Structure 1
């Protein structure tokens, strides 16, 4: 088993949700020191996590000032930052015809700006190490939009272009930037919203966590600017 992640410090935005918390758990199992970031009040961290995990709540990730303060807190606590996972995001189903421009603004704020702001806050600390990892959570919808997914798909397509552009800027500085493009993720909310679907075909949060762990490892040194489809059996 690759042990290059042992002791490394990773920040996970949207860390209190179903996907973010699952990703954090998988990375902790790989020996990483995990910091979960979110807008809501922070959850109670597991007792067995000791000093190897941390939750920072009340962070508006669209605010650069608040986000920089949170990352400064991470640096104070752990002395370093090695990786950033941009999970924070949201979904809104709405047709283009009869829809609202505010929905497009919202999707860009939660799906693109949060990743941009967190990356801006994290990169100075990653550069201090001379190496680092950024992984963004995109979506298969960013490649082809479905009915009612115009605003969401456009924001995820923008996240993909952001991933590619940032990877070009950082590839000679030791920092890789990649994105995972899941299809439907098997969460309690998605099951409730789509009760007639075949859940067995969906991607499990833990599977996404394992793929992220690989992208953070030394085995993935040569991968940057990649948009990796993780479609399960959909």
Structure 2
């Protein structure tokens, strides 16, 4: 990771914070992009670009280019920004489907399109997306979320094919991630079975490394002990 420049979207969320911190601890320089306001001043090792709606292509391009200007290059994009909604198809609202598509597919699409020319100029360009185990077979109440994450899976495969030999594009597919928010939403669940942000971060960062140069188009389950 030493010296690599990594853009992390959703960098102020539970998983994004861990990925950014671990990457920086291993020598990477990190640009965090988030919808929430920036929380720290820019340094030579880290910049936070807050107040960005990545579902808007113009805002995504502006944020990615700001990161490239700050560091002089980009090596990796980790698309973590996204959202979740539990809603049945029959009783739900079409707006939930639109919101899940915007939060999960458009954020990854727009950030990737903005970053790809810069990543292709790197000797080790990488994109890592966050899909979902739940998108492999949707259960009751998971229709809008699973459909949008399935879109992330297909986006990953399409980009991997289109940019083969220039940029590797892979996705991790977590089960339930062990976060405070998920524990609050599912207080009776067995948290010990869930995948931790640290475990997921290790797989994500492996895919950004030189050791993963031969891996592209992969959808890698990271399901913890479920």
Instruction: Name the TM-score class by shorter chain.
Output: over 0.9
SS at match of 1:177: strand
1:139 aligns to 2:139 (yes or no): no
Q: Which residue of 2 aligns with 1:195?
A: 187
1:74 aligns to 2:67 (yes or no): yes
Q: Which residue of 2 aligns with 1:31?
A: 27
Decide which of 155, 161, 176 is 2:168's aligned counterpart: 176
Structure 1 segments of 4+ aligned residues over 3 angstroms from their partners: none
Aligned residue runs from structure 1 range 151-166, under 5 A: 151-166=144-159
Compute the TM-score of the two structures, normalised by the length of structure 1: 0.94
Compute the TM-score of the two structures, normalised by the length of structure 2: 0.97
Aligned residue runs from structure 1 range 57-136, under 5 A: 57-136=50-129
Alignment RMSD? 1.2
Q: Which residue of 1 aligns with 2:10?
A: 14
Q: Deviations over 1:8-52 (max 9, x none)?
A: 00000011111111111111122110111001111236xxx9521
Q: Deviations over 1:52-97 (max 9, x none)?
A: 1111001110111111111111111100000000000000000011
Q: Distance in 2 between matches of 1:107 and 1:14?
A: 15
Q: Distance in 2 between matches of 1:50 and 1:126?
A: 22
Assess if the C-alpha contact under 8 Å between 2:124 and 2:210 holds in 1.
no
Unaligned runs of 5+ in 2: none
For the structure 1 residues 131 and 219, does the alpha-carbon distance in structure 2 shift closer, same or farther, using more than 3 Å as the test?
closer
Q: How many residues align?
A: 226
Unaligned runs of 5+ in 1: none
Q: Deviations over 1:98-155 (max 9, x none)?
A: 1111111111000000000000110011122244000000000110111100000000
Decide which of 190, 204, 221 is 1:229's aligned counterpart: 221
Q: Distance in 2 between matches of 1:141 and 1:76?
A: 37
1:207 aligns to 2:196 (yes or no): no
